[in-house]
Amino acid sequence: MDEDFLLAIRLQEQFDQEYRRPLSIVDESWEMLDPSPDIRAMFLEFNDMFFWGKLSGVEVKWSSRMTLCAGVCSYEGQGGLCSIRLSEPLLKLRPRKDLVETLLHEMIHALLFVTQNNRDRDGHGPEFCKHMNRINKASGTKITIYHSFHDEVDMYRQHWWRCNGPCQKRKPYFGYVKRAMNRAPSSLDPWWEDHQRTCGGTYTKIKEPEGYGKKGQKNSKTSEKKAAGSVIIIVITSLHFQKEEFHWLGPLKVKMDFMWSTV
């Protein structure tokens, strides 16, 4: 048997072994095999694989409104409801691997809550790190303490204000406040008092999403129409007429055939 044939056999055996070996949960092949995974199915698989089935009572869902962080684990009510929410706006722009690692990160928080009643959401102490390192070693993931995707977060911050005071020359923000929602800087912000004391300037809005103002006007007109419709309903249900006649109420012609009565 010649050497080339023996080499071919060894290569084939090596290939067969690698083919039978299950893919790592963060293998690049998953990007093509399952680019848009079912997060509930993924959660259940990871629960059995890494968390001994202890998270069966935890819910997991997408959030279309979270734009500042990739994931959050919240604890609600005295019954101990635990919920994991994943940011659809941020994670849909990232590789599948980031979704996997973000989900596992929040599942560790859920595990600490379920097993130890640990409600310290921002705590990444020894217990958290122990499970993080355990899962990273077993699966090849690179779960970290934080998972903030700065470029994606900035993309959703389309409402900008800038101060006209001295803070516009100070690092790191140079007087800018950028937000995903249209909420101007005010006394509701925890840093406002310090800003008033050290700067005292006034914030002016300098940028907003294209067409945002027109959208607001459209919504306002729609609300007015709805309000007008409500008034018409009140008038109709409050009056009764003796004979059939037509009445013009704004743009609507209403036919009424009722009897007069005191309301």
SS (H, E, C) 207-233: ECCCCHHHHHHHHHHHHHHHHHHHHHH
**Same-domain check for residues 37 and 140:** yes
- For 33-67, what is each residue's pLDDT tens digit? 777 789 999 999 999 999 999 999 999 999 888 87
Weakest-pLDDT range from 143-152, 156-165, 166-175, 201-210 = 143-152
In CATH, what number is assigned to the domain containing residue 139? 3.30.2010.10
Q: Are residues 220 and 194 in the same domain?
A: no
How far is the first Cα of the chain from the last one, in angstroms, to the nearest whole number?
107
Give me the pLDDT at residue 104, please: 94
Does residue 105 sit in the same domain as residue 133? yes
Shared domain check, 26 and 143: yes
Instruction: Tell me if 122 is assigned to some domain.
Output: yes
Asked if residue 152 is part of any domain, the answer here is no
Same domain, residue pair 141 and 222? no
Report the alpha-carbon distance of residue 249 to residue 151 in Å, rounded.
53
Q: What is the pLDDT of residue 68?
A: 74
pLDDT at position 190: 86
Shared-domain flag, residues 167 and 124: no
CA nearest 150: which of 243, 68, 47?
A: 68
* Residues 70 and 113 reside in one and the same domain: yes
Q: Say whether both 164 and 72 belong to one domain.
A: no
12 within some domain? no
Choose the catalytic residue: 13, 28, 76, 106. Answer: 106
Total length of the chain: 263
Q: Are residues 164 and 234 in the same domain?
A: no
Hey, how many other C-beta atoms are within 10 angstroms of the C-beta on 83?
Answer: 15
Tell me, yes or no, whether 167 lies in a domain. yes
Q: Which of 147, 173, 199 is the last residue of a domain?
A: 147
Tell me: pLDDT of 198 over 90: yes
Q: Which of 193, 192, 199 is nearest to 168 (CA)?
A: 199
Q: 245 is in which domain, residue-wise?
A: 212-256
Residue 1 lies inside a defined structural domain of this protein = no
Q: What is the total count of domains within the chain?
A: 3
Identity of the amino acid at 53:
G
The pLDDT-based confidence of 136 (bands split at 50, 70, 90) is: very high
Residue 5 lies in a domain: no
Tell me whether residue 76 is one of the annotated catalytic residues: no
Question: End of a domain among 168, 188, 207?
Answer: 207
| 112 located within any domain | yes
Asked whether residue 54 falls in the same domain as residue 81, the answer is: yes
Q: Tell me the per-residue pLDDT of 17-29, one tens digit each, with 9 for 90 and over.
A: 554 545 677 777 7
Q: Are residues 68 and 51 in the same domain?
A: yes
- 13 occurs within a structural domain: no
For residue 57, give both structure tokens.
């009572």
Element at 189 (helix H, strand E): none
